[in-house]
Amino acid sequence: MSTGAAAGSAEARIAGLRAELRDDRPAVATPLPRLSWTVQTPGTDWVQAWAELRSDGETVRLEGRDSVLVAWPFAPLSADDVRTVEVRAASTTGEATPWSAPLSVEAAFLSEGDWRAEFIGLASPLRAAQPVRLRRSFTVDRPVRRARLYWTALGAAAPQLNGTPVDDDVLAPGWTAYRDRLVHETVDVTVHLVDGENVIGVDLAGAWYTEKYGFFQFADRVYGDQPSFAAQLRLDYLDGTSETIVTDATWSASDGAEHVDSGIYAGETIDATLAEPAWATAGFDASAWPPARIDETATPTPEARIAPPVRRIEERAVEAVFTSPSGGTILDFGQNLVGRLRLTVTGPRGTQLTLRHAEVLDAGELALRPLRNAAATDRITLAGTGEETFEPRFTFHGFRYAQIDGWPGEFDPSAVRAVVLHSDLTRTGWFSSSHELLDRLHENVVWGMRGNFLSIPTDCPQRDERLGWTGDLQVFAPTASFLYDSAGFLDSWLRDLALEQQHRDGIVPMVVPSVLPGFGGGAPTAAWGDAATVVPWVLHERYGDVDILRDQYPSMRSWVEAVLRVSTEGLWSNTFQLGDWLDPSAPADQPAKARVDSDIVASAYLARSLRILADTAALIGETDDAARYDGLAESSRAAFVAEYVTPAGRMMSDAPTAYALALRFDLVTDVRMRDRLATRLAELVRADGYRIGTGFVGTPLITDALADGGRLREAGRLLLQTENPSWLSPVTKGATTIWERWDSLLEDGSVNPGEMTSFNHYALGAVADWMHRTVAGLAPAAPGYREVRIAPRPIAGLDHAQARHLTPYGLASVGWRRDGSTVHVIAEVPANTTATVALPGAAEFTVGSGSHGWSFADAVDHVSSVSYGLDSTLAEIIDEPAAYEALLAAVAKHDPGKADEIRRGTTWSAGRRVDQLLMFVSPALSSEVATALAAVGSREPEVAH
């Protein structure tokens, strides 16, 4: 092994400075915004000794290394404040950076009591969830220094000033727990004002607020029947005076004109023959518009937004057009995405277009059955005024394919674009390797996150659901935090989670916001409710945020106490659970019927949440709680071992998820017992033919449990498996996102007949975090990556792999490449951090920031010459891919059905031989198998660790 660090010149500079958790706008939601900065230098071993911050002539010096989420050192911001902040820093060797570029920090919040706007809507709606237009004119008679619009909605709105949209946000202000929490937008609209008459216009639709939630025919509205809007426009004049225009009865309201109907699940109906051009400008005659209705619904006072909004992120062109068997024109965008269509069309007045959306095709037609009650259909009527452009405003769809009916004349694919929507998060993580399918899998994980991080973290974006399932996010949070800067997004969602708990005596609902009030009988559900403890801890681990733990601590404690009330002597058992949801062995109509007992899942999560809560309490200074929960955590862990782990090293449920939980949650601490459990887990994985045998709970844990237990080979085989069920099986079928079920698309290309079939569910993509941390070898060793862990573990089947992550301290990367029997590693460690390096076959060591390179011998087992035949064990066959393929090929030549039966139904154990597997086949077939297996032998296989 060799080590080295590249030297460089000392030209350090501040590469980035931001306030709080958003970098898309300068607005902050708190009077005391925390500051973070990164240093970039070509030198090595750069550690900050001090930093200076200056704002409006005041300079504050801070001693030490802290550069992430540093407390605001100046006087608190007041509402409407705008400050400029700069930073410079110096290293322990005396190298100082220049001052950074100035950062504008703008208070986006209002002072307590300043929110005076009333919610307004349509006075006499004709039907539920009717789109609305609101309007108010006002006069500007003197120079304006600054104008800010604060607004929110029960629904989704698109404000404009003098006919120009005030921002580029979509579906704003998004979905929150409406009865407890609303967010307001803060937009500087100074540039949109004109002298004289001005007009505020608002398009408004029900969106999530008026949607019906539930399953099958039991869906109903949870919040309200009609949308409403509230806003206040503050005008600060150069003469020092100010005025505020608020929503009240002086506003006018009309129906949505061309926006006839809109729903999240249903889609949108647009009739351009009803359009009212320039309705939001001063020249429009709105005298016939009736006064707005004052909505008397009790609402919480809105708070400033902390998460980035939904925006149009990109557009995708049509990749292919074809005609379905029924004669429909179907567009293929080449990627399962979330958004809607924008089309430009010319046709006669009254021409009607129908746009339907689906993720996959079934027999050449749109597969609409998986959408269940979601129509996902947009309808457009042309005005006939020449070239017209349309894009729905208050809905979104999950789709790769779209069918357009009614297009006038010859269809032009260039006239249609797919507009991709999601919360505007900053990309921070990347992975690449020598394996094309694995790279596509990772890309599918990214697209799955993009489609489901839309205002809230949803389970799926296409059917009549799109809900914030807590269990999905709980397992995916580490992956999300690597791929995108998710801190503000998840902080916002956790606030809703905590508020929803308060209505349930600490129990976390399975979906947040809570719109399935009777689902699950109101009982705590393991792995789902544990999002209350796990997600804040992940945010602390990945972003170095202690404040998120302080803020969420009451929620974390409330959840654990709710579980303790239904547990006995440290065990959580005999209650309703979803368990290891969607274990592939579960019947299609019983997805909770997993191989592992749900009591094992529940008790493991109780012990884990207790441990997280104890560690959190200690970290934030809750010493009494820390002592109490530490004791309960140890008691629960010991009870788990006593109840579910045999002295021989078996789990009472002899299923992979049981072992993965015991190992990955550190419930078993004895070294020898852990080795026995890891051995048995590896045996089970091999017995399953290196195919997935775990559900939502076990799948994110199993590769870690294997690799940590010294079974990297088995973990690698599992990751690179292409037979169903496996991560790569959907990729071989053309998947461009992560599926809900391993077989959402069956082998014959038809859609799984189950009622619950989605082609965009991110939970099973949580394995990407293991790919980052272990396969590539990049992980946090201290909160926020203040210390990086570099520990690549090359797996068989890969020639190279790399992970890059934009940590809170700057870009970190680890990449390795095989060169014969040597593996070369190149790593980049950000300034003001260190790295612990753990290379195979060597003791751990520490390096400072900068570029580094090492080499080590590739670890392989040289096995003596192996011969395969009818007396070979099935374990030996499955462990040699060539022998496995030879066996199946020989059988398939005579009996394809039998080969498929062997592939799907065989337990590949060390106690069973090939001749026993073939005991009911013809002697001729057995002889051919023997010949095929013999041709595989007489060589020395190499198995990478």
What are the catalytic residues? 465, 740
**d(C-alpha 599, C-alpha 175), whole Å:** 34
Q: Reduced to 3 states, what is the DSSP secondary structure of residue 390? A: strand
**d(C-alpha 832, C-alpha 839), whole Å:** 23
The token duo for 830 is 């950000």
**d(C-alpha 684, C-alpha 410), whole Å:** 58
- Residue entry with tokens 């993580």: 429
H or E element in which residue 249 lies:
none
579: exposed, middle or buried (Cβ count in 10 Å: 0-12, 13-18, 19+): buried
- DSSP label at residue 514: -
The token duo for 648 is 């021989």
H or E element in which residue 152 lies:
strand 144-154
**d(C-alpha 227, C-alpha 132), whole Å:** 8
Amino acid at 508: V
Would you mind telling me the total number of residues written for the chain in this entry? 945
Region at 797 (left for phi over 0; alpha for psi -120 to 50; beta for the rest): left
Instruction: List the one residue out of 801, 800, 809 whose CA is nearest residue 780.
Output: 809
H or E element in which residue 226 lies:
none
The token duo for 594 is 């997993």
**d(C-alpha 99, C-alpha 54), whole Å:** 9
Q: Where are the alpha helices (DSSP H) in 709-753?
A: 712-720, 729-732
The token duo for 26 is 């300068």
**d(C-alpha 256, C-alpha 253), whole Å:** 9
- Find how far residue 77's CA is from the centre of its chain: 32
Instruction: List the one residue out of 241, 235, 233 whose CA is nearest residue 140.
Output: 235
Q: Reduced to 3 states, what is the DSSP secondary structure of residue 481? A: helix
**d(C-alpha 775, C-alpha 815), whole Å:** 10
The CA dihedral of 435, 481, 523, 740, to the nearest 10 degrees, is -30
Q: Reduced to 3 states, what is the DSSP secondary structure of residue 872? A: coil
How many of the other CB atoms lie within 10 Å of CB of 654?
14
**d(C-alpha 371, C-alpha 393), whole Å:** 21
**d(C-alpha 292, C-alpha 250), whole Å:** 7
The token duo for 789 is 């862990």
**d(C-alpha 881, C-alpha 897), whole Å:** 20
Amino acid at 111: S
**d(C-alpha 572, C-alpha 501), whole Å:** 20
Are 186 and 151 in contact by the 8 Å Cβ rule? The answer is: no
For the beta sheet containing 834-837, the strands, ordered from the edge strand earlier in sequence to the opposite edge, are 778-780, 787-790, 834-837, 845-847
- DSSP label at residue 13: E
Instruction: List the one residue out of 443, 442, 460, 463 whose CA is nearest residue 451.
Output: 460
**d(C-alpha 665, C-alpha 197), whole Å:** 64
The token duo for 322 is 């074809």
| DSSP bridge partners of 252 | 135, 291
- DSSP label at residue 774: I
- State the number of CA atoms in the 13 A half-sphere of 552 facing the CB: 33
